């Protein structure tokens, strides 16, 4: 749709196919749920930013060319940054600034790749990258991977999401990383590098979640982990793997939003977000606990919940492709997900030590939104066929087999047993985990020190030398040049001009205008010439 020509290039504003429909459907559902969750907000700012964010994500999904994609891509970055800035605290402002700078950097890489791709191929149409991985392809891939939070380009997510507003974090958990999964599936299916990066992501997020005390930062690390399944599925590139990545993105948006809504409800009513400051809330927030646990069971891939029928498709695709190491790593990551999101976080947030906090259920609209997401998490798990019918390729996968159910329940039971046995070792600590954002935080600080100290002193020294030596010399040279110009060049030119004027005046006196005078002058001239000739000839 919207085919046209722009600066000599064919552009296609919109393209609709089965892959885009999967993501557009869940984005639209999530937009409705998110708006219901945010109904209690009276200010217009967050609502407008959220709508722009959702609209930009849909624009990316339907973009038929790289130019349209880039414009909506940057729209997502700026709209979502507002949801961090809207928190207004010092940490939120700093996190929002870092978030924006990182995404601008990714946007520059993407734009550079798009320009090089257009010059090399003569086309800006958005589709699978063909002809090998050149510089353009790697720049585009880097821009996409940054939004997918692929390590080491992941720290923006766990830095910004916990600092966003309660409602803003719900939206952010759904769109940025999943649009990245979509564009990777569109442009780079079957890229081997993505298999191993996705597998590493799945483990990376789980490992960092072990160390977390902030409830939303813990959930943010599990976004990294779960998106790793999708990235690995895109990298495997088979029909089942791409179906698995797409379906898992669909399910993940809903259950991760539910988890963020549950954590956000706790923050909304208590003002606290660290596990070391929470506990005993199950008495005053039973509905929130129940709804949160639906999301926890879904992300942990319990039978009859959405994660069970989507995550397992990616693992099965890896098995079909004879990737035993990938299967093992993804299975371990699934166990870790249940350990931290399904057990550790709810235990210390809702149960555990009773902190005697004054709490109540959140506003009704929040509970309604959580209920909507919870119903969908269960419905997809019990009736997966409607979701399977949306997927880009025909589905030949049966999640409810005896072997699959037995294996899943066994892994979950052993994980729960380990949690009980090592409960004290899992106690959260009030510490800060160092991630890759440390490098640009420290790097920026050192850069500012370099700019403010040595470079500033160097600039002052250069200015002092310039003011005391260079500028006086230049001024003196300019004055000397001016004197030479006035007294030398101008004097010569003016003298020659005066001589010409005087000579012209004398010649003008010889021109009497009388013909007889001119004839006499000619006769005298001829006689003089004959006389000179006679003397010379003699």
Q: pLDDT for 43-74, tens place per residue? A: 899 999 999 999 999 999 999 999 999 999 99
Nearest C-alpha neighbor of 279 from the set 367, 346, 360, 210: 346
- What mean pLDDT comes out for the span 225-244? 96
**Token pair of 453 as six digits:** 């100290």
Residues in the chain: 538
> Residues 323-343: what's their mean pLDDT?
94
| Least confident span in 258-262, 424-428, 527-531 | 527-531
* Integer Cα distance of 155 and 434 in angstroms: 10
* Burial class for 462, CB neighbours closer than 10 Å (0-12, 13-18, 19+): exposed
List the alpha helices (DSSP H) in 423-489: 437-452, 454-465, 471-484
139-159 exposure pattern, b = at least 16 Cβ within 10 A, e = fewer: bbbbbbbbbbbbbebbbbbbb
Q: What is the rounded CA–CA span in Å between residue 522 and residue 163? A: 107
- CA 413, 228, 230, 387 torsion: positive or negative? positive
Does the model's pTM come out above 0.85? no
So what's the pLDDT on residue 20?
96
* 68 burial level (CB within 10 Å; 0-12, 13-18, 19+): buried
111-155 tens-digit pLDDT: 999 999 999 988 899 999 887 788 999 999 999 999 999 998 999
- The H helix count followed by the E strand count for the chain is 23, 2
**CA dist., res. 349 & res. 371, Å (int):** 20
Confidence (pLDDT) at 472: 80
With 0-12 CB in 10 A as exposed, 13-18 as middle and 19+ as buried, what is 187?
buried
Nearest of 73, 39, 44 to residue 58 by alpha carbon: 73
394 contact partners, CB below 8 Å, separation of at least 6 = 239
Secondary structure (3-state) at 125: strand
Q: Which residue has the higher pLDDT, 253 or 439?
A: 253
pLDDT in tens, 144-155: 999 999 998 999
pLDDT recorded at residue 14: 86
Q: How far apart are CA 172 and CA 30, in angstroms?
A: 11
Residue 90 CB-density burial (10 A; 0-12 exposed, 13-18 middle, 19+ buried): exposed
């Amino acid at each position: 749709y919207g085919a046209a020509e722009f600066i000599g290039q064919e552009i296609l504003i919109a393209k609709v196919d089965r892959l885009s429909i999967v993501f557009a459907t869940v984005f639209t559902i999530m937009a409705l749920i998110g708006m219901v969750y945010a109904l209690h907000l009276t200010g217009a700012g967050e609502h407008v930013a959220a709508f722009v964010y959702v609209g930009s994500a849909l624009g990316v999904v339907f973009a038929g060319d790289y130019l349209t994609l880039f414009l909506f891509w940057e729209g997502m970055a700026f709209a979502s940054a507002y949801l961090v800035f809207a928190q207004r605290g010092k940490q939120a402002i700093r996190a929002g600034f870092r978030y924006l700078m990182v995404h601008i950097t990714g946007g520059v890489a993407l734009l550079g790749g798009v320009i090089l791709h257009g010059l090399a191929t003569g086309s800006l149409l958005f589709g699978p990258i063909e002809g090998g991985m050149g510089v353009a392809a790697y720049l585009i891939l880097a821009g996409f991977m940054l939004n997918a939070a692929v390590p080491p380009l992941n720290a923006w997510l766990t830095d910004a999401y916990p600092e966003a507003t309660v409602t803003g974090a719900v939206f952010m958990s759904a769109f940025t990383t999943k649009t990245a999964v979509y564009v990777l599936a569109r442009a780079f299916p079957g890229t081997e590098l993505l298999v191993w990066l996705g597998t590493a992501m799945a483990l990376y997020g789980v490992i960092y979640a072990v160390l977390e005390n902030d409830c939303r930062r813990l959930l943010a690390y599990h976004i990294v982990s779960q998106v790793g399944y999708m990235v690995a599925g895109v990298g495997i590139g088979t029909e089942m793997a791409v179906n698995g990545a797409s379906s898992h993105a669909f399910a993940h948006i809903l259950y991760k939003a539910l988890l963020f809504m549950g954590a956000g409800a706790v923050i909304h009513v208590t003002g606290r977000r660290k596990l070391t400051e929470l506990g005993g809330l199950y008495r005053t927030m039973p509905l929130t606990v129940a709804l949160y646990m639906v999301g926890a069971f879904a992300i942990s891939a319990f039978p009859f919940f959405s994660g069970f029928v989507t995550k397992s498709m990616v693992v099965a695709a890896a098995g079909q492709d004879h990737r035993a190491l990938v299967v093992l790593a993804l299975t371990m990551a699934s166990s870790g997900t249940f350990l931290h999101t399904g057990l550790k976080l709810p235990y210390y947030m809702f149960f555990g030590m009773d902190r005697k906090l004054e709490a109540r259920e959140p506003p009704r609209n929040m509970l309604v939104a959580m209920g909507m997401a919870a119903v969908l998490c269960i419905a997809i798990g019990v009736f997966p066929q409607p979701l399977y019918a949306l997927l880009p390729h025909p589905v030949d996968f049966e999640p409810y087999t005896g072997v699959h159910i037995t294996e899943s329940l066994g892994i979950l039971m052993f994980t729960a047993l380990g949690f009980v046995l090592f409960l004290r070792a899992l106690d959260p600590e009030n510490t800060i985990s160092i991630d890759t954002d440390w490098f640009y935080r420290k790097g920026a600080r050192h850069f500012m020190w370099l700019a403010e100290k040595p470079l500033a002193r160097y600039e002052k020294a250069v200015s002092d030398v310039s003011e005391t030596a260079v500028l006086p010399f230049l001024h003196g040279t300019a004055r000397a040049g001016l004197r030479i110009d006035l007294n030398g060049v101008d004097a010569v030119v003016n003298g020659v001009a005066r001589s010409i004027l005087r000579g012209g005046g004398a010649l003008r006196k010889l021109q009497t205008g009388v013909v007889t005078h001119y004839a006499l002058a000619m006769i005298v001239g001829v006689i003089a010439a004959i006389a000179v000739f006679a003397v010379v000839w003699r």
